[in-house]
Amino acid sequence: MTLTVGIVGHGEVGGIFGRGLLGKEGIAAIHAWDVRFADPATGSAARAAAQADGLQAAQDMAALCAACNLIISAVTASNTFAVAEEAAKYVRPGTRFLDLNSASPGTKQRAAAVLEAAGAAYVEAGVMTSVPPYGIRVPMLLGGAQAEALAATLAGWGMDARTVSEKLGVASAIKMSRSIMIKGLEALVIESYATARHYGVEDHVLPTLAETFPQIDWERQGAYFFSRVVQHGKRRAEEMREAAQTVQEAGFEPLMAEATADKQAWVSQLARAGVFEGIDPRHATWQDYADRLLRQQADDGPAD
């Protein structure tokens, strides 16, 4: 079966998937739609970026749905349901909808309900690690009644996708539970390292971490954590709000998930304000980022 693929969200992940799927056997064309396309301030540049990736920039969601029989949603967590709801207005019956977004099981189930009511076949995906190092081969867990059939199609394109359940929400529960740990570690490292740097005790703290967890390169991991939060803190904060929702859906108070979201959002706000401007993430150390935080904190005064 020849497929025309539509990608909703031409950001980092959407761009990687679009470029990675170009030329794959059985794909006739790849279209993209992003809300930035409709923004007078960003539209021309955003469309040009999609076209430079070899994708066809759709006029709107309706045009994307009219052209495509496989739609991949790759937006920020907070937009997961809104995209599903919008697509449900225009999607053709029989279209497969692959939801890559980091959202709670409840959010995914609501997204599935509106799309399946419109005749689409909804499949949730839990993307289990950072996409850039892997590209389209990033490990993904799929869930839903049509997950097994879609997994076979994706495997034919060289993707690492396996089905974990026909029940919607299982793949997302796995993803969100992992995110609480990974994004929580990012937030803890930023707080711990910056504090140690303030007191000048980092050369004592990091060796003790290495003694306890010798398999981790704490200097290198720290730099990576800082860089990812600085670059993608807003997206990570939104994901952690969904993780908090997942904890609530399980009946617990999401104290840690909410705190992690707040830390990620705080770093994101500083990044947008230019606090980390000029730092090259390819070569930066964690100290480079921590020093900027400390300098900003000195300018702002002590926290209340």
* pLDDT, tens only, 121-141: 999 999 999 899 999 999 999
pLDDT tops 80 at residue 280: yes
Token pair listed for 289: 């980022």
Going from the C-alpha of 24 to that of each of 9, 177, 296, the distances in angstroms are 20, 33, 48
The confidence score (pLDDT) of residue 299 equals 84
CATH class of 172-300: mainly alpha
Q: Which residues contact 287 (CB under 8 A, 6 or more apart)?
A: 197, 202
- Give the pLDDT mean for 238-258: 97
Nearest to 229 by CA among 201, 204, 265: 265
SS3 of residue 70 by DSSP: strand
Indicate the Cα dihedral angle 179, 182, 184, 187, nearest 10°.
-130
- Give the pLDDT mean for 98-102: 97
Residue 56: strand pairing partners: 31
Least confident of 56-60, 142-146, 295-299: 295-299
Residue 72: strand pairing partners: 7, 98
Q: Where are the CATH 1.10.1040.10 domain residues in the chain?
A: 172-300
pLDDT tops 80 at residue 18: yes
Token pair listed for 149: 């059939």
CATH class of 3-167: alpha beta
Nearest to 234 by CA among 256, 201, 267: 267
Nearest to 145 by CA among 170, 128, 126: 170
Summary mean pLDDT of the chain:
96
The confidence score (pLDDT) of residue 300 equals 81
The structure tokens 């306890």 sit at: 212
Distance of CA 266 to the CA centre of its chain: 18
Indicate the Cα dihedral angle 178, 114, 117, 8, nearest 10°.
-80
pTM for the complete prediction? 0.91
Note the maximum CA span of the chain: 62
pLDDT tops 70 at residue 146: yes
Cα–Cα distance measured from residue 96 to residue 150, given in angstroms and rounded to the nearest whole number: 8
